[in-house]
Amino acid sequence: MNEDINGSTRELLRRALPPMVNTEPGRDLWPKMLSRLDGPTSHVPWFDWALVALVAIWAVASPQLIPILLFHL
């Protein structure tokens, strides 16, 4: 019975997933990666820096609350 189930499962998988013919990418991806690395860098908004400063001030003002902050991360 187990072999019959395995055989039918194997046959279903063969029908559902055809063999892969061409596994190579259609073009070279390295030049595109190099152009993305040489491109402009992302800009960090001012409110992200303000949030970092607020958390730092909060940690200095009340260090006993640092575990609470770490719990919420």
Has residue 29 been placed in a domain? no
Nearest-Å Rg of the Cα atoms of the chain is: 27
Question: Could you report the per-residue pLDDT of 21-42, keeping only the tens digit for each?
Answer: 887 877 888 998 898 888 888 8
* 10 belongs to a structural domain: no
Number of domains composing the chain = 1
What is the percent of the chain where pLDDT is above 90? 21
Contact call for residues 69 and 55 (beta carbons, < 8 A): yes
Residue 52 resides in a domain: yes
Residue 34 CA, chain-centre distance (Å), reads: 20
What is the pLDDT, as a whole number, of residue 52? 93
Domain that holds residue 57: 45-73
Q: Could you tell me the pLDDT band of residue 5, with boundaries at 50, 70 and 90? A: low
On whether residue 1 sits in a domain, the answer given is no
